[in-house]
């Protein structure tokens, strides 16, 4: 039996001889490379926190002591040490989640895999337990240097710092990266900390120097105080934390288990909030991940564990179409600028950055700042393109509403991974954006059905200068071009079998246009008259859609978004306001959090396949 197989709980880990821990760490790394290469998942972040997670579980008593992992993609080692060692279906239906999951274990607390939230969670947990008289229970937040670029983390620090007896340990896992290299003033501050001798060691040097200096009485105290202050100001930038009222310890080697345990134990006993600054190496122990300059090993698909290369090279993805067209637009229009929230490559802005490096702003994990900054750029006469994952737009809704839309700012939002993404689970499905943006006055939303439309509608979006525009598309390989048979106003007609009046008008939204067309053709084959359309710009509902609905006996709307408050709901309201009395059948995602599984499995489960749509519509017509 391997050492890892003997660890069925943190208690078994605590009982292990310290001399065996380095071997356990190597077994864990081998396990991660072997298993994650079969399933895909977050490999680099987990390889970097092996020793840190071992030390945390040996010093603290989970689940009595709570360990909150920010973002949670680095929780694989935590899962292994808490008895979950079957990774054969990681991120697949019926298998382990790629993030902490309360359904899996009492050791998991925070399931939301959006960054910069751990300190607020930990603050609330620690204060709640103190109010209940549970002063012997500790709370630990593990937050990366990348997540510290998020404003919410500093809102929490602002509150934690004044609570001097709060039993809270903040572990800053500093590997100089989030998805991409950490940027900004905080990154520079942490870099200085990494390269500066420990404050305590320098102060010891000062004391030794003074002991050889002929100074006596109060003068000795004053001189020592002056040296202490001078050293702190010059070589101890941890003062930023300590001046806020937080005890700072570090930096500590994040791959030295003995040092980690000793440091964490001292932090636990301090009795108030402590920051433990831990230096780790992302991808530790796996050379392809260490050599990776673009963070392709942050999250991987199925790879060859020997080489780190993918077994299958995918085709052209939706993001590629946006990437290429942004470069072309940037070449033509010097007023177009781009903003990313620490995800330059995943959202497809790396091409634009290479061509126009002075016109790209990476704001770190700070979506709220990104949106309001974009509004300022628009006021200054530029046209910003803010590219984020659809699920992360949720974090900046107020800024979209009050800073951007209220001020009629010409800003284009490009939402990658919109709709069902599947394997990353509830927090990463981009299923909220059309419901949220449908409430925003003056906002116009485009949902391209294929790569050609991504390019065309991006160009249309950046021409709008009197309000926000949104362009959204899904994850994965881009759809084959779906040609319109004709244009009705601004609406593309994708299929119709005969006549002006039809039994059914099917409105296919974005990537679901192909699904809508397949379903419409099958219904037509049953002897009904059908027209399938792609509105292209789906919000607000255009008069052209209303006109086409007048000529139909029923309308169906198929969308990759919540049914509640989505495009179908907007169409229903628009028809009612126009006095068009036809039934509207809406198909999309129900209002619930979805389990992790493949996109295909989700579509089947939710009844969003052509055959399922045909069966349901036939029963309604």
Question: At 240, is the pLDDT very low, low, confident or very high (cuts 50, 70, 90)?
Answer: low
Known catalytic residue: 395?
yes
Is the same domain home to 276 and 132? yes
List 51, 261, 321, 367, catalytic entry: 367
Q: Taking the CB of residue 607, how many other CB atoms lie within 10 A of it?
A: 13
List 395, 475, 522, 528, catalytic entry: 395
Which amino acids are annotated as binding site for Mg(2+), given as ranges? 145, 175
Is the same domain home to 323 and 453? yes
Asked if pLDDT for residue 27 goes beyond 80, the answer is yes
362-380 burial string, b = 16+ CB within 10 Å, else e?
bbbbbbbbbbbbbbebbee
Query: Which one is predicted more confidently, 244 or 389?
Result: 389
Q: What is the pLDDT of residue 516?
A: 97
Percent of the chain with pLDDT over 70: 88
Is the same domain home to 117 and 202? no
pLDDT digits (tens, 9 = 90+) for 536-569: 999 999 999 999 999 999 999 999 999 999 999 9
Percent of the chain with pLDDT over 90: 61
Is the same domain home to 16 and 94? yes
Residue 414 within any structural domain of the chain:
yes
Rounded to an integer, the average pLDDT of 74-86 is 91
Alpha-carbon dihedral angle through residues 367, 373, 377, 379, given to the nearest 10 degrees: 120
Is the same domain home to 275 and 344? no
Residue 305 within any structural domain of the chain:
no
Is the same domain home to 435 and 492? no
Per the CB < 8 A criterion, the answer to whether 107 and 9 are in contact is no
d(Cα 41, Cα 20) in Å, to the nearest integer?
A: 28
Domain that holds residue 326: 318-472
Query: Which one is predicted more confidently, 401 or 301?
Result: 401
Is the same domain home to 16 and 70? yes
Q: What is the pLDDT of residue 89?
A: 87
Asked if pLDDT for residue 206 goes beyond 60, the answer is no
Residue 477 within any structural domain of the chain:
no
Rounded to an integer, the average pLDDT of 572-581 is 97
174, two tokens:
């500093």
Number of domains in the chain: 4
Question: At 201, is the pLDDT very low, low, confident or very high (cuts 50, 70, 90)?
Answer: very low
Question: At 192, is the pLDDT very low, low, confident or very high (cuts 50, 70, 90)?
Answer: confident
List 129, 282, 359, 449, catalytic entry: 282
Is the same domain home to 419 and 508? no
Residue 482 within any structural domain of the chain:
no
Per the CB < 8 A criterion, the answer to whether 250 and 18 are in contact is no
User: Which whole-number Å values give the CA distances from 342 to 137, 252, 365, 465, in the listed order?
Assistant: 35, 25, 6, 26
> CA 363 from chain center: how many Å?
14
Residue 300 within any structural domain of the chain:
no
- What 3-state DSSP class applies to 582? coil
Is the same domain home to 161 and 247? yes
**CATH code assigned at 74:** 3.40.50.970
Most confident range, picked from 222-236, 279-293, 330-344: 330-344
**CATH code assigned at 529:** 3.40.50.920
Is the same domain home to 27 and 151? yes
Which backbone phi and psi does 183 adopt, to 5 degrees?
-125, 170
Is the same domain home to 453 and 598? no
User: Which whole-number Å values give the CA distances from 97 to 40, 44, 303, 502, 612, in the listed order?
Assistant: 12, 17, 19, 46, 28
Residue 297 within any structural domain of the chain:
no
- What 3-state DSSP class applies to 18? helix
Asked if pLDDT for residue 193 goes beyond 70, the answer is no
Asked if pLDDT for residue 237 goes beyond 50, the answer is no
pTM given for the model:
0.84
Residue 481 within any structural domain of the chain:
no
Lowest mean pLDDT among 226-240, 312-326, 553-567: 226-240
- What 3-state DSSP class applies to 543? helix
Query: Which one is predicted more confidently, 228 or 530?
Result: 530
Is the same domain home to 144 and 223? no
Which amino acids are annotated as binding site for thiamine diphosphate, given as ranges? 73, 113-115, 146-147, 175, 286, 367
Lowest mean pLDDT among 138-142, 192-196, 327-331, 469-473: 192-196
Q: Which residues pair with 66 in a beta bridge?
A: 139
Known catalytic residue: 367?
yes
Q: What is the pLDDT of residue 293?
A: 59
d(Cα 199, Cα 411) in Å, to the nearest integer?
A: 46
* Mean pLDDT rounded to a whole number for the chain: 87
Most confident range, picked from 1-15, 18-32, 321-335: 321-335
Question: At 295, is the pLDDT very low, low, confident or very high (cuts 50, 70, 90)?
Answer: low
């Amino acid at each position: 039996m391997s050492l890892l197989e003997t660890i069925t709980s943190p208690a078994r880990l605590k009982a292990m001889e310290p001399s065996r821990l380095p071997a356990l760490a190597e077994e864990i790394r081998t396990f991660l490379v072997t298993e994650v290469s079969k399933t895909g998942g977050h490999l680099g972040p987990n390889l970097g926190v092996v020793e840190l997670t071992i030390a945390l579980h040996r010093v603290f008593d989970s689940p009595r002591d709570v360990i909150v992992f920010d973002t949670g993609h680095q929780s694989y080692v935590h899962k292994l040490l808490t008895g979950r060692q079957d990774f054969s279906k990681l991120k697949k239906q019926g298998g382990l989640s790629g993030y902490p999951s309360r359904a899996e274990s009492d050791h998991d607390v925070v399931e939301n895999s959006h960054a910069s939230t751990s300190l607020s969670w930990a603050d609330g947990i620690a204060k709640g337990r103190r109010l209940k008289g549970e002063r012997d229970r500790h709370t630990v937040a593990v937050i990366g240097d990348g997540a510290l670029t998020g404003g919410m983390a500093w809102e929490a620090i602002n509150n934690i710092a004044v609570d001097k007896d709060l039993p809270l340990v903040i572990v800053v896992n500093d590997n100089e990266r989030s998805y991409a290299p950490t940027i900004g003033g905080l990154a520079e501050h942490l870099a200085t900390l990494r390269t500066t001798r420990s404050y305590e060691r320098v102060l010891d040097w000062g004391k030794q120097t003074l002991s050889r200096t002929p100074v006596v009485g109060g003068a000795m105290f004053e001189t020592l105080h002056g040296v202490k202050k001078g050293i702190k100001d010059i070589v101890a930038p941890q003062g930023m934390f300590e001046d806020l009222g937080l005890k700072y310890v570090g930096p500590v080697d994040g791959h030295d288990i003995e040092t980690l345990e000793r440091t964490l134990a001292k932090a636990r006993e301090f009795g108030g909030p402590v920051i433990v600054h831990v230096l780790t190496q992302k991808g530790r122990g796996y050379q392809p991940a260490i050599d990776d300059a673009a963070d392709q090993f942050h999250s991987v698909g199925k790879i060859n564990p020997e080489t780190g290369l993918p077994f299958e090279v995918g085709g052209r993805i939706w993001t590629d179409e946006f990437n290429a067209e942004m470069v072309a637009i940037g070449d033509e229009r010097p007023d177009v600028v781009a903003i990313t929230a620490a995800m330059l490559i995943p959202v497809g802005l790396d091409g634009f950055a290479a061509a126009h490096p002075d016109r790209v702003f990476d704001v770190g994990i700070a979506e709220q700042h990104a949106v309001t900054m974009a509004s300022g750029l628009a006021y200054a006469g530029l046209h910003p393109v803010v590219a984020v994952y659809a699920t992360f737009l949720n974090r900046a809704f107020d800024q979209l509403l009050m800073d951007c839309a209220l001020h009629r700012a010409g800003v284009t939002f490009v939402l990658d991974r919109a709709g069902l993404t599947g394997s990353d689970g509830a927090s990463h499905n981009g299923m909220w954006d059309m419901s949220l943006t449908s409430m925003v006055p003056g906002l116009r939303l485009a949902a391209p059905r294929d790569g050609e439309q991504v390019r065309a509608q991006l160009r249309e979006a950046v021409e709008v200068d009197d309000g926000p525009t949104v362009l959204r598309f899904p994850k994965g390989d881009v759809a084959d071009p779906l040609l319109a048979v004709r244009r009705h106003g601004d609406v593309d007609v994708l299929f119709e079998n005969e006549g002006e009046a039809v039994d059914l008008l099917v409105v296919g939204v974005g990537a679901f246009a192909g699904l809508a067309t397949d379903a419409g053709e099958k219904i037509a084959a049953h002897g009904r008259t059908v027209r399938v359309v792609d509105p292209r710009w789906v919000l607000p509902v255009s008069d052209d859609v209303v006109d086409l609905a007048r000529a139909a006996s029923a309308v169906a709307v198929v969308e990759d978004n919540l049914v509640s408050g989505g495009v179908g709901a907007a169409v229903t309201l628009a028809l009612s306001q126009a006095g068009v009395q036809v039934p509207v059948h809406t198909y999309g995602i129900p209002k619930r959090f979805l389990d992790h599984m493949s996109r295909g499995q989700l579509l089947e489960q939710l009844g969003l396949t052509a055959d399922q749509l045909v069966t349901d519509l036939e029963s309604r017509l």
